[in-house]
A and B are shown apart, each in its own frame.
Chain A
Amino acid sequence: MSRKNIRIYWGDYLWRLIIVALLLGGIFYYGPLFYARFQYLPIEQILASSPLKNRTFTATVQQIKGDNIKAYLLEEHANPIISISFAFQKAGVAHEPEDMLGLTTILSEMLTAGGADYDAKTFKDLCAEYGIKLEFATTADNFSGTLQFPKEFQEKAVELFRAALYEPQFDEAYLTLVKKRQLLALQLQKEQPAQLLADKFKQFVFAGHPYERNVLGTEESIGKINVADLESYRQEKLAQNNLLIGIAGDVTATETVQLLKQLFADLPIAAKTDELSPLEIEATGVKQAVSRQTAQNIARFATQGTFRNSVDFYPLYIVNYIFGESGLNSRLNKRIREQEGLTYGVYTYLVVKKAAALIEGAFSATPENFERAVEMLRQEWKRLGKEGISKQELAQAKEALIASYNLRFASTAGIADMLLAMQIYDLGIDFLQKRNDYINEVTLQAANAAAKKYFSAEPDLMYIGVVDTKEKK
């Protein structure tokens, strides 16, 4: 009996040995992977101990005042270049005479096509030889321009700018060419589904308002425009009292006063301008289609947004950033792109014009993915309107928006544009000092009130592409 009791059962031990071996093997084999779960890149520590952490930077915007001319200046003497961005307010596409649509685009081309004694070729050659960049452009609200030049060629830049602005040649033959090219551009706009949709979408959202206009005009209107029309528009709309200027670069305040006088002092004092009627977008989740055989359907959507100086602006700005503007990290991209691979990208952005403010967005997806993507957009939209954002999302967005503050100072031309925008949107001369506070001061409550207010009703949507026949009514 007793012997039997102490008998060794090898079978039992063998099992135990196997179990122990498996355990040890498991630890050795999977241990590093298990350990890796707790490994991370210590980003916080890296940043805190970086010798680069304390680089400070102040950008002081100066207000420049001449007789009737005012501007914002940011001195930046690192490179011998000067950038000027300017805009004539209420002189853009929405202010063109109703029978001359496309006029401001033509005007922007014709102003750099020769002036004073220089024909188009000589004018453009001189600009290029001296590294002087002069461009005019038109937007819905404003007729704008940029002038950039090396400091050593300031005199030449002033001469050429004055030739363009005060004595444009408006050569008949050149006008014919510009008009033909604009008709071609109008045709090419119809080639690309994204561009065709952008045009149709404007008509859909701004129906009946001047904001619905195509910046190129129409085939009929382009044909009608002549030199006298350009001349009278130039004289009526380009004046000192609707002019805003941003200037940046290797120039002092005193020099700026003199320079701006040379450039702009001979403009008429007052422009003949008209006001646009304000437009509210009452989105109700309408969906419209433009039928075309495309590889992908492209969608654009919009709803009412808010103006730059409204109390809702920063709360909405942050909410929209989280929802659709923060690139691959946005709610929409994480859901529709990253999780399901339905689209290459989806985004939203705020649009602020003089007489309308919108939240707009866009994405494209192949026809078999399209309805699913629209459905997910709707779900995310509703969820935002109902539940708002989280405390953590708010904190992250604030961190991101504040950390990226200095990116606006990358180029001199970009700084001049920013200084101009500060005036167009009436943000105040101390905007750069206050901007991070505006972001920081947004409370979760305010953000979620904005989410509820702007994301409760569904946006109106228009798409171009393969139309689902089941939907046709």
Chain B
Amino acid sequence: MNQAGFVDLIRHCYEEDRHELFLLALSITRCSDTAEDALHTAFERLLKRRKVPRELRPYVFRCVRNAAIDEVRRRKRGRECIVADPPTDSCARHEDVRLAQCLQELSDSERECILLKIKGDLTFKEVAEVCNVSINTASSWYRRGLAKLRDMLTEDTP
């Protein structure tokens, strides 16, 4: 593949998954600005590599995850919520915020697995590749995270 083709491939990858990649970075950094910086750094590194990995999609997610972790190490982790708009009085919005809060209460690995699997539409194999763990570990983090979420949300219901 020539260089122009490689850049096009990276561009296509960004356009396809930009919201999911941003969400992953935001869930790690909890700050929009830091998440944007992480994405920028990740794509900068990707372009320097100039070699297409076998599985590009999980590789890009992994790059973004690593860049976000690096950013968190350099700066302080924020307190921003991953939910789109500020909470309003509507019941549905309130539930969304509560769900997002519960997600934030999970461990990093559990939250990442859930977001990658559900929001990113990645398979367990790909999630395992992104998190650099075995498939069994990734699936157990996912199940454990969902169970914790269920417990937390059940406690809330009267």
A binds B: no
